[in-house]
Every structure is written in structure tokens, then in C-alpha cells.
Structure 1
Amino acid sequence: MVIVEEKCMQSVPPPPYAPNGTAPPPPFPGGHRGAIKLSDLAPHLLLKIVYMMFPQTPGINEGKIERQRKTLCWLSTHLRLVNRSFYIACAHVLRSTYLPAYNSMIRPPYSSDPFPFSSSTSTSSVETLQRETKVLDLFIALKVHEDVMLDDSSLHLEREDSFKDLFDLMQPRSRLEDLVRHYGVREGVVHTNQTGVNASSSSSSIFRGNNSGTGSMSTGKQTSDPAPVPFSSLSISFSPRRVGLVLTASGRKRTIVDVARTRDEKLEVTAKKLARQLKAWLSDC
């Protein structure tokens, strides 16, 4: 039996809440207020969610391998494009999955290193200096499409030349650019400082100095320690027999170094020759 006293029924309500000047703690880490979005989660949690999108139990609707390939295609063509957070998580999964297939396509004597300096789920996965990473991403975009088409129809035939341009030209060229960056920084003739020396002004001054015909900078004095070239202004013109180093400044392109190579010459050897020739070219500026 419950006895309710009459005085309790007639008690006045509690006073209204009065803030004491201190803000309540945020409902989520990081200061989020209101509803939190899925992309606001920590990178490792978002990556875990992406992994959970893959089929966990075989035998539902279709084979597990086919469903996995469809999920990979969906990551590449849809989820990856939602925002930056999803791009990083999807890129991590896609690159890790397709790297063995990519490496199997590398043709001797070429080498490969397509992953960024930090392959973790961070901003470096988007803003990477590693130019071969773009070739890996192009390979993935083509590969996921071909895999799904093969699963959907036995009549689909993968063309033998589908990946020819990627691995005959784009892969060795981008890999060579990465190697030139590596050896050029070591030689002190290339820099990767994105916030330091302005790339366009630095390259333009090199253009002016080399075009003066006097072998000196605009001051007329020989510099014993020439300024390094920004890597963002350098690119490679690639062919099986010759390789050129191209400098771009103010919308102008100019081949500043040109070296011969043999078909069986490793890219590392060619990159070292280009770095040495670049050092000599800068000394003459």
C-alpha cells in the first residue's frame, strides 16, 4: 500500500534552472554541439565502419567474392566522393586491397612505390608528394570496373591493352619523378617546401638567369650555391631511349636536362643521372 501525503501533492514546483556562468561540457569529444555526423568520427572508427560494409556472411544473394567486388566498386565510385573523411578511409581500403595486383603489373626493369610517405588514415593520404599514387588510383578505378563487369557477364572480355598506357608510360614516368625528387633533395638541387620559396617566382628567376647567356644570375655574379628547384615545377618527358627533365614556370615549359638510357636501365640509375645533370645545369645559371 502506498500512502501519499496531502502536503506532498500541494508542494510548490522546484525553482527554474539558473546558469551559474559555466557552460555545460560538450556532448561529444572535440566540442561538437547538436547531432554528430558520421564523418565527424575519429579516422580509425570511420575506417572500421567502412570495413564492416563488406560481406560478413557468405551465401546471401550471391557469392561472397562477387559481393566484395561490388562493394569495392561502390567505395571507388560513390562513397569515396562524399567528403574528405570518406575519401581517406576508402582510399586506404582500396589501395591496400589492390596493391598486390598493381605490383604484379610492374614490368622489369621498372620499380614501384605508390604509397604516400604515411599510409595511415590522415591528411597525408590526400595531399601526398608521391606522384605514383595517382597512377595507383587510376589503376584501381579501372580494375574495380573490369572486375564487376566480369562478374556480371561471362561475355565480357577484358582487353589486353586496358592497362597498357598505365604501365608502359604513366607508371615509369611518375616513379621516375618521385626518384628525381628523392635524389634531388639529397643533392640539394630540389626542394619540396610548399610554404617556403614561391615555386613560380623561384622557377622564373632560374629561367631568366639561364637565358641571359652569361652563365650568371641577374646580378652578374656566379653563385656558388644555386637555389634548388621546387619539385612542383618539375616533370619528366619519358621514352624508352631518352628521358628529359622539364621545368615549368609562368605557363612556360622547357626541357632543361636530357639524358640517354637503355631499355634495361633501372629507373634509379636514370634518376641519379638526372639529379647530377640538374646540379650541373644549376651551377651554370
Structure 2
Amino acid sequence: MVIVEEKCMQSVPPPPYFPNASTLPPPPFPGEHRGVAKPSDLPPHLLLKIVYMTFPQTPGIDEGKIERQRKTLCWLSTQLRSVNRSFYIACEHVLRSTYLPAYNSMIRPPYSSDPFPFSSSASTSSCDTLQRETKVLDLFIALKVHEDVMVDDSSLHLEREDSFKDLFDLMQPRSRLEDLVRHYGVREGVVHTNPHGVNASPSSSSMFRVNNSGIGSASTSKWTSDLAPVPFSALSISFSPRRVGLVLTASGRKRTIVDVARTRDEKLEVTAKKLVLQLKVWLSDGPR
């Protein structure tokens, strides 16, 4: 038997019915109302898991599992990734990892490929990468998903061999060469990737110092140690099997500042090093 003293019970005040204004309300309602949660608010790994779960694992009535999955890939490319940034990143992860082996199999020797370099800056947005070959990969994916669905839907549709000709004869080696020029140019101090520019940027007169033929001067004058690097965003490549030019764009004008010869079996790495070397000569020879 437990004897409860009435005096002890009365000496303990009851808990307050309302919390003090300075304290937070009890759970499960901490803090202020955050609004309705959206799928894009999920952590990236959970959103990626949801995207993967959209792929069918069983065959349909008139189509197999592979055909249904190809239609899902087409849906990711044409619709789901356009919802918002979060879905775009998740869909691009699935699409690029799926079609990268097919993309690499179509690289033509002696060309090389590296759409996802390990040296990429962690601060660079995955939606706005410096690697220009990544855009070519995305174009390949957009064309490939369409061709795959068309082949599955109709036996009369024949995949043309020249569908990817422009991509791998011109766009892929050109974008890869631009990425190599950026890599070697930054290492040599003649190219910069800072979006806000550098303290000593080349003037318009020095950037457009060209000879009568329209090709940038590349004399063997003495190199200086304080070369002002050129922004990579202003550089592009004019590509052909026999000659390659480095094009500089400023104030709405395009000029070929460096032009070098190449052979058909020459590796892109060799061509990029020659372009960077001539760019260094052009910068040192131009007026400061």
C-alpha cells in the first residue's frame, strides 16, 4: 500500500498549460511552418533513386522490357529533365552513364575523348561545365534516344549510318581540341577560366594583332614572363583534317589568331600543344 501525502501533492505546482513565449513549441512542430514539401526538395541520392525506379522491370503487352526502358530513357530526355534543376541533374546522371559506352565506341582514331575529366573544379556547376565535349555527348544522347525508340516502334525505320557523321567527324574532335587547349593553356599561363577576368587582360589591340592574311602573327620574338592570359570563353577552334585555327571572339568580332597544319593521323593532344605554343608566341609578340 502506498500512502500519498496531500501536502506534498499541493506543494508541487502543475505544469503550465502554455509554453513561455521565449521557448519553442514542443515537437512535432518545431519552428515556423515551412510550407508544402516538393519532390525537388529531396536529397539528391533519394531523387536519383526515384528516377531509377521509373524504369519498368517487366515486359508489356506488345513490347519487351528493353523496349519499355528505352521509352523511359526518351521520356527522361525529352520531358522529365525539363521540370527543374534537381530533376535535370538526376536525369543527366542516368542518361550520361547509360549512353557513355555507346558514345566512346564511336570515337574515331586517332581522336580521343574525355567528356568528364577528373580535374574538374568541384565548385563548377554540373549544369554549366567548362568541358565543351560534354555538350557533344548530350547532343549524341538526344539523337540516340530518338533513334532507339523509332527502331523499336517500326521495323520500317532504318538507322542511317550518317546520322552521327557530323558529331564524330567535326563536333567531337573540335570540342575535344578546345578542352585540350584550355588544359594546356592554363598550365602554360596563356589561357584563364576565371569568369570575372584577370587583372591584366589583353587589350583589344593586342588581341586582334593580325597580319595581312588574317592569320595571327607567330614570330619567334623573345617571350615575356608577364603574358596576359586570354579568356577561354572567347576562344574557339576552326577544325579541318589538314589545318586547325584558334579563333578569338571579342566585341562581336572573330579573328583567327593562330593557324597550324596537321596530318590526318595526328593526335589531338599534339595539335593542342602546337596551338598553345603558337598562342604563347602571339601573346609575347603583340603590343602590351
Q: Give TM class, smaller chain.
A: 0.7 to 0.9
Distance (whole Å) between structure 1 residues aligned to residue 53 and residue 282 of structure 2: 54
Say yes or no: does 1:207 pair with 2:207: yes
Q: 1:45 and 1:189, CA in 2 relative to 1: closer, same or farther beyond 3 A?
A: same
Match of 1:48 in 2: 49
Match of 2:234 in 1: 233
Distance (whole Å) between structure 1 residues aligned to residue 268 and residue 29 of structure 2: 50
Match of 2:100 in 1: 99
Say yes or no: does 1:268 pair with 2:272: no
Distance (whole Å) between structure 2 residues aligned to residue 27 and residue 276 of structure 1: 65
Distance (whole Å) between structure 2 residues aligned to residue 26 and residue 153 of structure 1: 58
Aligned residues with identical type, % of pairs: 85
Match of 2:186 in 1: 185
SS at match of 2:246: strand
SS at match of 1:125: coil
Distance (whole Å) between structure 1 residues aligned to residue 29 and residue 261 of structure 2: 60
Match of 1:173 in 2: 174
CA contact (8 A) 2:60 2:68 kept: no
SS at match of 2:163: coil
SS at match of 1:154: coil
Match of 1:139 in 2: 140
CA contact (8 A) 1:88 1:122 kept: no
State the TM-score, normalizing by the size of structure 2. 0.81
Q: How does 1:154-165 map to 2 (within 5 A)?
A: 154-165=155-166
After TM superposition, give the deviation of residue 127 of structure 1 in Å.
Answer: 1.3
Q: 1:194 and 1:163, CA in 2 relative to 1: closer, same or farther beyond 3 A?
A: same
Q: 1:88 and 1:205, CA in 2 relative to 1: closer, same or farther beyond 3 A?
A: farther
Moved more, 56-65 or 159-168: 56-65
State the TM-score, normalizing by the size of structure 1. 0.82
Distance (whole Å) between structure 2 residues aligned to residue 203 and residue 56 of structure 1: 60
Distance (whole Å) between structure 1 residues aligned to residue 26 and residue 137 of structure 2: 44
AA aligned opposite 2:41: D
After TM superposition, give the deviation of residue 57 of structure 1 in Å.
Answer: 3.3
Two-structure CA RMSD over aligned residues (Å): 3.1
Match of 1:217 in 2: none
After TM superposition, give the deviation of residue 35 of structure 1 in Å.
Answer: 1.1
Q: Deviations over 1:19-50 (max 9, x none)?
A: 52345599899x98121110011111111111
The count of corresponding residues between Structure 1 and Structure 2 is: 261
After TM superposition, give the deviation of residue 115 of structure 1 in Å.
Answer: 2.0
CA contact (8 A) 1:176 1:268 kept: yes
After TM superposition, give the deviation of residue 141 of structure 1 in Å.
Answer: 0.2
Q: Deviations over 1:106-144 (max 9, x none)?
A: 00000001125589x996321100000000000000000
Q: How does 1:55-94 map to 2 (within 5 A)?
A: 55-58=56-59, 62-94=63-95
Unaligned runs of 5+ in 2: 1-14, 213-222
After TM superposition, give the deviation of residue 207 of structure 1 in Å.
Answer: 2.6
AA aligned opposite 1:283: S
Distance (whole Å) between structure 2 residues aligned to residue 206 and residue 25 of structure 1: 68
Unaligned runs of 5+ in 1: 1-13, 214-221
